[in-house]
A = this chain, B = another copy of it.
Amino acid sequence: MKLEIEVLQQQFGNMFEASLLQELAQVGNYMEVEEGFVLMRPGGYIRSVPILISGSVKILRADSEGREALLYYLGGLDSCAMSLTCCLDRRQSEITAIADEKTRLIAIPVEKIDEWITKYSSWKQFVFMTYQKRFEDLLGAIDQIAFHKLDERLLGLLNRKSKQCGCTIFNITHEELGQELATSREVISRLLKQLERLGRVKLSRNKIELLDKN
């Protein structure tokens, strides 16, 4: 797929200077992936750093027994700090990255990341902003896990999903939610039912509607 300089201009015009946009167009690898596409698995080698143009990607942490916990979402123009840190010395991934909807992105080859940091101050800014945002995201994840009960975390997760996709209806199973919160399907079912009784959500098969977001 061709990466048009106009598209880049439009997306990154007020963030990057013209010469960087040029380079982006030359070496960046444009990709479109469908919902559920696995961009990265733990242990995978990272050969490029993704920058999202549209869509969203969820980042999960897995333990040794196959359980997973949602860390955060990447959204428009976000990039992944894990891949930044990892690729700078050819390390393996420690996380899982899965497209949460149809997502368009540019993959930047590893070697450019470092080069551009000294070359383009706007790129340096972007890299540090990325680190900072991911740190905040991770701290947010820790807040949720350490300080909140499951029902609050579940509601929080639904709210974040809502913010991410801009809608209030999700096609998702209780099983999947359970995985993202590192708990079981039954627990999620129970809590959802409880939330439904409280008028916070409306449930049907494969579908959850978030009623009053606050």
The interface residues of chain B lying within 8 Å CB-to-CB of A69 are: 142, 146-147
B contact residues around A124 at 8 Å (CB): 117-118
Chain B residues with CB below 8 A from A61, complex form: 139, 142-143, 146
Stretch at the interface among A49-57, A81-89, A189-197: A81-89
Assembly stoichiometry (copies): 2
| Highest count of chain B CB atoms <10 Å: which of A81, A88, A91, A128 | A128
- Residues of A151-196 whose CB lies within 8 A of B: 182
- How many Å from the CB of A190 to the closest CB on chain B? 20
Bound Cα distance A81, B117 (Å): 18
List, sorted by A's number, 29 A–B pairs whose CB atoms are closer than 8 Å: A61-B139, A63-B146, A63-B147, A65-B147, A67-B146, A67-B147, A69-B142, A69-B146, A69-B147, A71-B142, A81-B135, A82-B135, A84-B131, A85-B132, A85-B135, A86-B132, A88-B132, A94-B136, A117-B117, A117-B118, A118-B118, A131-B131, A135-B135, A135-B138, A138-B138, A138-B139, A145-B145, A145-B146, A146-B182
Q: Is the CB of A95 closer than 8 A to any CB of chain B?
A: yes
- A residues 76-106 near B (Cβ < 8 Å) are 81-82, 84-86, 88-89, 91, 94-95
Q: Could you list which residues of chain A lie within 8 angstroms of chain B, going by C-beta atoms? A: 61, 63, 65, 67, 69, 71, 81-82, 84-86, 88-89, 91, 94-95, 117-118, 121, 124, 128, 131-132, 134-136, 138-139, 141-143, 145-147, 182
Q: Taking CB as reference atom, which chain B residue is nearest A67?
A: B147
Question: Could you tell me the distance in whole angstroms from the C-beta of A143 to the nearest C-beta in chain B?
Answer: 6
Tell me how far the C-beta of A174 lies from the nearest C-beta in chain B, rounded to whole angstroms: 19
A63 to B132, CA, bound (A): 19
Closest to A113 in B: B128
Contact B139 A95 (CB under 8 A): yes
Q: For residue A121, which residue of chain B has the nearest CB?
A: B118
